[in-house]
Amino acid sequence: MQDILPHNVLYTKKHGFGVPVALWFFAGPRLESLVSDILTDSRTRQRGYFRPAFLDHLLKLHRGKDAHFYRRDSLDLVALELWHRQHLERSVETVCAD
């Protein structure tokens, strides 16, 4: 490739790059609705991980001009909540069933 690519391309150190996961996640109304449903769900709010007022504020920020700054935060919170439901709630259900 030395005859094709410039020297700085060939010998630049490897580095990561951001993937716009949050933008992809909010690209369609169904996924945006899923985020809203999870962050407003009573199980999410009663768990005590997040302050309900903060979740409401975060959901409002999604509709503002700087939504791209806050979508990743929401995605992280949704991921944590879904992880909790998948692993911790099911663990409790399994133990209680025994």
The separation between the first and the last C-alpha atoms of the chain, rounded to the nearest angstrom, is 62
Q: Is residue 75 part of a domain?
A: yes
Q: How many domains does the chain have?
A: 1
Q: Is residue 54 part of a domain?
A: yes
pLDDT at res. 73: 82
Q: What is the pLDDT of residues 46-60, one digit of tens each?
A: 999 999 999 999 888
pLDDT at res. 22: 64
Could you tell me the two tokens for 62? 């999604």
Q: Is residue 78 part of a domain?
A: yes
Q: Is residue 2 part of a domain?
A: no
Q: Is residue 12 part of a domain?
A: yes
Which residue range(s) make up the domain with 56?
7-97
Q: What is the pLDDT along the chain (98 residues), one digit of tens a residue?
A: 889 999 998 898 888 877 776 667 667 778 778 888 999 999 999 999 999 999 999 888 876 666 666 677 888 899 999 999 999 887 666 656 65
Q: Is residue 1 part of a domain?
A: no
pLDDT at res. 31: 78
Q: Which residue has the tokens 């150190």?
A: 13
d(CA 48, CA 56): 14
